[in-house]
């Protein structure tokens, strides 16, 4: 019997027991749909994280104090005062791979305008800060080097601060607000950026000269962080090495001694988050893949039942010249058809489910063609693997015993 006839017979056998065939396929359908949906969500999340980190500047490099042990107690990096303004100036002057550099000093507190107040963070930075963090000015201007030099009481504010102090749609340029009872004049408003990868509102900021925060608000001389941008993403590693050399020299760190600062690049952040996303995707897909195993066991079980029910039919076919290989192929094709049909339905439901999750929950998704192709191949392998033994049992039946079977 040729393959076409065997497929026709297999389809006829499945149509004869439609409900049982559907129930048998259910495990495969659920497994494939779950795997494709989970992979789509995982890949979409990874791509979203990469895009958001890149939007902050793919060549951005952050320098911050390192955690150190003092008196047997581990001190967090944020509590250390190892970075100074001179470090930032040295990086700007001596690192040829660095195009932009800015210190950062942070102060949290209440911003006040009239009867309105809003808790926010005042970032004291340099004039390159907006270029490094990919911020843009919507109205007004950015403060300049002269404003930094004289510790001018001028600021640029984000949209969240504007909305909470002045109301939506109001242009506050020229208005004076108070931060920790220090009056500062708004000279610019930032373009809206929304939340970053960590869920932080990037528009809830007040940005001013770092000298203003140091001298007028916090009364300190050190800085919290230094932000820099390499001339290109390819030069990020070289820029990091140059910064390390400059800071070790400035801080008089000897060979063998640990750095009192740490450097983080955007490439490292992307790698870290992608690794976490990959682990979660693999874990969720593995859990969903259990349904495929259950579905395969279901196919094996139903094929055993089918062989038992059709024992006399098998004996009759063998008695009139049917070969064992034809019997084996018929039951194997039935098993493969069950698996592939379940896989195709699962792929359709998985793709549809991914887009439903995206539209309802707002999660980013990305359908991978490789996942669809792999699912199809896996379904075929499951059909062959779990259908082989029942098919082999059918092909090895003795015709006389099969005809006598009640």
Phi and psi (nearest 5°) for 251? -90, 5
Residue 276 sits in the same domain as residue 362: yes
With respect to residue 244, please indicate whether it lies within any of the assigned structural domains: no
Residue 134: phi and psi, rounded to 5, are 65, 35
State the total domains in the chain. Answer: 2
Residue 179 burial (CB count, 10 A): 24
| 224 and 103 within one domain | yes
Query: The domain containing residue 344 runs over which residues?
Result: 3-52+272-404
Residue 191 lies in a domain: yes
Q: Do 134 and 205 fall within a single domain?
A: yes
Structure confidence at residue 68 (pLDDT): 53
Query: What pLDDT, on a 0 to 100 scale, did the predictor assign at position 213?
Result: 95
The reply to whether 213 and 292 lie within a common domain is no
Helix, strand or coil for residue 79? helix
35, 350 in Cβ contact below 8 A? yes
Instruction: Give the Cα separation of 226 and 374 in Å (integer).
Output: 46
Asked if residue 276 and residue 205 are part of one domain, the reply reads no
From first to last of its 406 residues, the chain has per-residue pLDDT tens of: 567 777 777 777 777 778 888 888 888 888 888 888 888 887 887 777 777 666 666 688 999 998 655 444 444 444 567 899 999 999 999 999 999 999 999 999 999 998 999 999 999 999 999 998 888 999 999 999 999 999 999 999 999 999 999 988 889 999 999 999 999 999 999 999 887 666 678 899 999 999 999 999 999 999 999 999 998 878 888 999 999 999 999 988 888 888 889 998 877 777 777 777 778 777 877 777 777 778 788 888 888 787 777 777 777 777 777 777 777 887 788 888 888 888 889 889 989 988 888 888 777 888 888 878 888 788 888 888 888 888 887 778 777 666 666 5
Residue ending a domain, choose from 200, 230, 260 = 230
- Residues 118, 178 within the same domain: yes
Does one domain contain both 23 and 127? no
Whether the CB-CB separation of 367 and 36 falls below 8 Å is answered with yes
Q: Is 131 exposed, middle or buried (0-12, 13-18, 19+ CB in 10 A)?
A: middle
pLDDT given for residue 265 in this prediction: 83
Range 243-248 contact pairs with CB under 8 angstroms and sequence separation of 24 or more:
243/61, 243/63, 243/91, 243/95, 243/98, 246/87, 246/90, 246/91, 246/94, 246/95, 247/63, 247/87, 247/90, 247/91
| Same domain (yes/no): 299, 374 | yes
Please tell me the distance from the alpha carbon of residue 368 to that of residue 255, in angstroms, as a whole number.
48
Distance (Å, rounded) from C-alpha 131 to C-alpha 102? 10
Same domain for 225 and 305, yes or no, is: no
In a domain, 348, yes or no: yes
My answer on whether 226 and 277 are in the same domain is no
Is residue 393 domain-shared with residue 281, that is, in the same domain? yes
């Amino acid at each position: 019997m040729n393959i076409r006839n065997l497929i026709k017979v297999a389809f006829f056998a499945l149509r004869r027991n439609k409900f049982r065939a559907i129930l048998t396929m259910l495990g495969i359908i659920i497994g494939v749909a779950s795997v494709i949906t989970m992979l789509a969500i995982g890949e979409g999340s990874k791509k979203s994280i990469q895009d958001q980190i890149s939007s902050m500047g793919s060549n951005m490099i952050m320098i911050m104090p390192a955690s150190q042990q003092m008196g047997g107690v581990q001190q967090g990096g944020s509590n250390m005062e190892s970075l100074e303004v001179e470090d930032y100036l040295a990086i700007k002057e001596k690192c040829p791979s660095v195009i932009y550099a800015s210190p950062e000093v942070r102060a949290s507190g209440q911003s006040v305008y009239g009867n309105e107040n809003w808790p926010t963070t005042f970032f004291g930075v340099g004039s390159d800060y907006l270029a490094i963090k990919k911020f843009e000015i919507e109205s007004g201007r950015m403060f300049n080097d002269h404003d930094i030099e004289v510790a001018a009481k001028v600021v640029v504010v984000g949209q969240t601060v504007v909305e909470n102090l002045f109301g939506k749609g109001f242009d506050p340029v020229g208005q004076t607000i108070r931060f920790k009872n220090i009056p500062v004049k708004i000279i610019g408003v930032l373009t809206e950026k929304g939340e970053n990868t960590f869920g932080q509102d990037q528009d809830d900021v007040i940005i001013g000269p770092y000298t203003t925060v140091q001298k007028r608000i916090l009364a300190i001389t050190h800085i919290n962080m230094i932000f820099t941008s390499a001339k290109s993403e390819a030069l990020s590693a070289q820029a990091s090495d140059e910064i390390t050399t400059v800071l070790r020299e400035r801080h008089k760190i000897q060979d063998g001694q640990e750095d009192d600062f740490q450097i983080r690049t955007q490439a490292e952040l992307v790698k870290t988050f992608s690794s976490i996303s990959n682990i979660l995707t693999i874990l969720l897909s593995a859990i969903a893949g259990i349904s495929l195993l259950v579905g395969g066991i279901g196919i094996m079980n139903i094929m055993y039942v089918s062989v038992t029910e059709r024992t006399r039919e098998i004996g009759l076919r063998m008695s009139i010249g049917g070969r064992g290989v034809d019997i084996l192929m018929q039951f194997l094709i039935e098993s493969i058809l069950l698996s592939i049909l379940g896989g195709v339905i699962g792929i359709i439901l998985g793709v549809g489910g991914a887009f439903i999750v995206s539209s309802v929950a707002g999660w980013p998704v990305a359908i991978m063609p490789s996942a669809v192709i792999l699912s199809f191949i896996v379904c075929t392998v499951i059909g062959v693997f779990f259908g082989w033994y029942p098919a082999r049992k059918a092909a090895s039946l003795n015709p006389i015993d099969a005809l006598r079977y009640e």
